[in-house]
Amino acid sequence: MRLLIALILPWLTFFTIGKPIAGIICLALQITVIGWLPATIWAVYSLSQYKTDKKIEKALGQRGA
């Protein structure tokens, strides 16, 4: 679901992963027609990093238990 949001409304993705400052910057970038594509790429990349971070946290949590 977040991937679909990242493709349609890139700025909203940052708010869903807890990065509101980046969301505001992305919104400013998305307002321009030329900046929409870089904003989308940035949102998808950030979403993949967020998922990777969550997997690492989960793996470290299981290892420590």
CA distances from 40 to 4, 12, 43, 51, 65 (A): 10, 11, 5, 17, 38
Prediction pTM value: 0.81
pLDDT in tens, 14-63: 999 999 999 999 999 888 878 889 999 999 999 999 999 999 999 888 87
Give me the mean pLDDT over the 5-22 stretch.
92
